[in-house]
Amino acid sequence: MASLKLNNLCKVFKTDRKAEVTALAGINLEVPDGELMALVGPSGCGKSTLLRLIAGLDHPSNGSISLGNKEVNNIKPQDRDVAMVFQNYALFPHLTVEQNIIFSLKFRKIPKSEMQSRVDDAADLLGITDFLQRKPAELSGGQRQRVALGRAMVCKPKIFLLDEPLSNLDARMRAEMRAEIAKLHNRLRTTMIFVTHDQTEAMTLGQRICVINKGKVMQVGAPLDLYQRPVHKFVGDFIGTPGMNFIRGRLDVLDGSNVFIEDTKDGDGDSLHLPEIFSKAVAKFNGIKVLLGIRSEHLKLIEKGIGFKVTLDTVETLGHESLLHIRTAANKMIVRSSGNDQSNFNGKILEINWSNVIWFDYNSGLALI
């Protein structure tokens, strides 16, 4: 096992037109020995490129990659002691499951008896012993993914790199394989980097999550830290299902109290006096454009009271909960309601739990408080 350290890692690709495309722009990241780190971000943000650099399949334009205390920039992929599991499994169709798993050991000068022992142990751990003599075409997607994991396991790598390994599976199988990977990590205690664009996978699997956007690290932290305290609007929007709601507007001081005024295309929208408890904390934002970030579970529709006037557009009934799609004068939002609570449906006023509001700068997207 080994820790991973990326220092100012950059990757620039040149196109046919001699233009340059920056895939990664100064990535700094440390993954402790034995941690399962989830890399999450939208398609094209640089996640897979980052894995390929760690594995040695591509070379960085700048920066360094260290495994343990050793820089590996100039070390060949086969000598890095890193195993990579690909999205499309990358199994040899003409070989049996056993032959596919053992193939990765043939060039490591390992005795045949030990090879067979490793294959048997991996097959038993992954529950694929009964499939060892089958060809990949005879297996389901979940079984093929287990074979790909087994092929990586028998090499006993210092680091596992998993590049969106569940994206080809259906929803039920994805949930099952998430649990299997979590169990596997608990048993092996090997450093794992799990790449996904699905933030649900990142939240449920990652001990920590690294959010990447446009080749840059936006935030690194425990799943709940990112969910509850995003440092950037992008993180709040990307992490969570549904993502964070945002209310754009500005803060003004009127008659000695702080008033938040919605910003619409035609000018000012609804206004709302903020609770006294927040007066001092937000007074410094007077006159500047801000975004109020609030999770759907911290909103409620009420029939009477203090809040923004809203219109209910649609209701998504999910059984255990309902998602209410609403509009204010300037913003569209989602309110989460308990599956047994129908009182929210008739509300015309949006009540905000102000203690859970995150204030973001309108222009930079950075969290203010």
Contact present, 20 and 170 (Cβ < 8 Å):
no
Cα-based torsion angle of the residue sequence 87, 5, 240, 353 in order, rounded to the nearest 10 degrees: 180
pLDDT of residue 200: 87
Contact present, 157 and 193 (Cβ < 8 Å):
no
DSSP secondary structure string, 296-358?
Answer: GGGEEEESSSSSEE-EEEEEEE-SSEEEEEEE-SS-EEEEEEETT--GGGG--EEEE-GGG-E
For the chain, how are helix, strand and coil distributed in percent, rounded to 5? Answer: 30, 35, 35
Instruction: Give the percent of the chain with pLDDT over 70.
Output: 95
One CATH from 3.40.50.720, 3.30.2270.10, 1.20.140.10, 3.40.50.300 for 4-238? 3.40.50.300
Domain ranges for the chain, please list them: 4-238, 245-361
Q: Cα(240)–Cα(261) distance, rounded to whole angstroms?
A: 27
Q: Cα(276)–Cα(155) distance, rounded to whole angstroms?
A: 61
Q: Cα(120)–Cα(129) distance, rounded to whole angstroms?
A: 7
281-307 pLDDT, tens digit per residue, is 677 777 788 999 999 999 999 888 888
- Residue 254's pLDDT band, with cuts at 50, 70 and 90, is low
pLDDT of residue 324: 92
Average pLDDT, integer, range 84-99: 88
Nearest residue to 305 via CA among 350, 336, 337? 350
212-248 pLDDT, tens digit per residue, is 999 999 999 999 999 999 999 999 999 998 999 999 8
With a cut of 70, say whether residue 256 has pLDDT above it: no
DSSP secondary structure string, 334-350?
Answer: EEEEETT--GGGG--EE
Contact present, 151 and 101 (Cβ < 8 Å):
yes
Average pLDDT, integer, range 41-48: 91
Between these two residues, 243 and 170, which has the higher pLDDT value? 243
Buried b vs exposed e over 163-180: b needs ≥16 C-beta within 10 Å?
bbbbeebeeebbeebbeb
Residue with tokens 């979590």: 182
| All residues at 6 or more sequence positions from 239 whose CB lies less than 8 Å from its CB, including other chains | 40, 199, 202, 203, 209, 211, 223, 226, 227, 230
Nearest residue to 289 via CA among 357, 368, 236? 368
With a cut of 80, say whether residue 268 has pLDDT above it: no
Mean pLDDT value across the chain: 88
- Tokens representing 198? 């699905």
Bridge partners for 337 per DSSP: 322
- Residue 5's pLDDT band, with cuts at 50, 70 and 90, is very high
- Residue 42's pLDDT band, with cuts at 50, 70 and 90, is very high
What 3-state DSSP class applies to 130? Answer: helix
172-195 pLDDT, tens digit per residue, is 888 888 888 888 899 888 999 999
110-169 pLDDT, tens digit per residue, is 888 888 899 998 888 888 999 899 999 999 888 888 898 888 888 889 999 999 888 888
Cα 105 to its chain centre, rounded Å, is 32
